[in-house]
């Protein structure tokens, strides 16, 4: 029996790659470099499925070019799907799946990492030390902020938002305030206060951490108005999508000293980084490491595999994305 053909756009960890090769006729982008839209469209023409990552735009033009071929499912390696034109896929009878749940803990861990690094100015300290500029301990050197007992604002109280808030509340005794488009009735084993606007959260929080999906509805949800509502010591943390933050407004706030710092794992034009963020004071920048653990990335690949197995067996897919 002929196996369904699947095109994978980037290399995966070994265990999940092996599972895919066992189940399907896999073509791998061994170069592990970002493919052009034309290359993805060609893959859609010749394969029953493609498995893109969050860095592979599968826009309307790409889907239109590849729609006359074999592809019937776009099995995304990741949770966010704002890089895929879901309406175009639906028009051509293609379904989209993603990998929710399995990267919750890893991403929440990175959010807390960024909070601690930024509050305690650890990035600045490491850069100073590595540059040979550290002159030794002194009482006023690189004074940061204590995180314990502060107020954390969450924008987007989904799985990752809740996991981040739980770590902050139970581990650091932080008060939690949050904004979510729909009402959240239960925060589980920590208390959180839902506020009516993003600006209200910014006004009442020492740190604001973004955990909302990307896309047009949330584009620049943290913009000039929200940043202006933050206290001068306030910290911005983004592990969601680059486009949820107005990077120019954030750079203005940082360079103008209107907020205390930022910790960013995602960027609007990644891998190209806004140069004003690169040289802003008290900013920690990470290269999109949110889900970057061996356990998590393998689990993401295994979830893609299970979605594809179900689809080609004629069953309901475990993780459909509805347009």
Enter the tokens of residue 113: 């990492």
Query: Which residue bears the tokens 């990998």?
Result: 99
Active-site residue 241, yes or no? Answer: yes
In percent, how much of the chain has pLDDT > 90? 95
Strands of the 283-285 sheet, one edge to the other = 192-194, 175-179, 151-155, 207-210, 235-238, 261-264, 283-285
Residue 121 has pLDDT above 80, yes or no: yes
CA atoms of 106 and 90, how far apart (whole Å): 31
Task: For residue 172, give both structure tokens.
Answer: 């650091």
What are the Cα distances from residue 273, in Å, to 57, 245, 291, 296? 18, 13, 20, 25
Selecting among 241, 247, 297, 306, the annotated active-site residue is: 241
- Residue 122: pLDDT band (50, 70, 90) is very high
**What percent of the chain has a predicted confidence (pLDDT) above 70?**
100
The residue annotated as part of the active site, out of 120, 159, 219, 288, is 288
Question: Do the Cβ atoms of 12 and 55 come closer than 8 Å?
Answer: no
**pLDDT exceeds 80 at position 101:** yes
pLDDT tens digits for 220-266?
999 999 999 999 999 999 999 999 999 999 999 999 999 999 999 99
Average pLDDT over residues 156-178: 98
Q: Which of 128, 270, 276, 295 is catalytic?
A: 270
pLDDT, tens digit (0-9, with 9 covering 90-100), for 181-194: 999 999 999 999 99
Average pLDDT over every residue of 44-50:
98
pLDDT in tens, 196-225: 999 999 999 999 999 999 989 999 999 999
1 has a pLDDT exceeding 80: no
Does 323 have pLDDT greater than 70? Answer: no
**Confidence band for 312, pLDDT divided at 50, 70 and 90:** very high
Domains annotated for the chain, with CATH where assigned, are 5-102+294-321 (3.40.50.720), 104-285 (3.40.50.720)
CB under 8 A, 24+ apart: contacts of 60-66: 60/85, 60/87, 60/88, 61/37, 62/37, 63/88, 63/89, 63/92, 63/94, 64/88, 64/92, 65/37, 65/38, 65/41, 66/40, 66/41, 66/42
Q: Which residues pair with 238 in a beta bridge?
A: 210, 264
Residue 279 vs residues 145, 276, 316: alpha-carbon distances, Å: 21, 6, 49
Over range 42-50, report the average pLDDT: 98
């Amino acid at each position: 029996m002929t196996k369904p053909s699947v095109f994978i756009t980037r290399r995966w960890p070994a265990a999940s790659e092996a599972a895919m090769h066992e189940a399907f006729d896999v073509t791998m982008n061994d170069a592990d470099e970002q493919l052009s839209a034309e290359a993805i469209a060609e893959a859609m023409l010749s394969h029953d499925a493609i498995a893109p990552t969050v860095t592979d735009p599968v826009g309307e033009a790409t889907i239109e070019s590849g729609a006359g071929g074999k592809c019937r499912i776009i099995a995304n390696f990741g949770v966010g799907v704002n890089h895929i034109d879901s309406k175009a896929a639906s028009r051509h009878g293609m379904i989209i799946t993603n990998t929710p749940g399995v990267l919750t803990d890893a991403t929440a861990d990175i959010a807390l990492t960024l909070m601690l690094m930024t509050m305690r100015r650890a990035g600045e300290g490491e850069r100073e030390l590595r540059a040979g500029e550290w002159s030794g301990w002194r009482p006023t050197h690189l004074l940061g902020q204590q995180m314990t007992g502060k107020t954390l604002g969450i924008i987007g109280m989904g799985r990752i938002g809740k996991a981040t808030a739980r770590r902050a509340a139970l581990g650091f005794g932080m008060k939690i305030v949050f904004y979510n488009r729909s009402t959240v009735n239960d925060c589980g084993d920590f208390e959180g206060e839902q506020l009516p606007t993003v600006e209200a959260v910014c006004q009442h929080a020492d740190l604001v951490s973004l955990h909302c999906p990307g896309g047009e509805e949330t584009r620049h949800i943290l913009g000039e108005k929200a940043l202006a509502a933050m206290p001068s010591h306030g910290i911005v943390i983004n592990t969601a999508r680059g486009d949820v933050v107005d990077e120019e407004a954030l750079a203005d706030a940082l360079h103008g000293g209107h907020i205390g710092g930022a910790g960013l794992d995602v960027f609007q034009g990644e891998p190209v980084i806004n140069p004003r963020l690169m040289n802003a004071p008290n900013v920690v920048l990470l290269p999109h490491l949110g889900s970057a653990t061996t356990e998590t990335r393998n689990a993401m690949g295994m979830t893609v595999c299970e979605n594809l197995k179900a689809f080609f067996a004629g069953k309901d897919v475990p993780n459909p994305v509805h347009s």
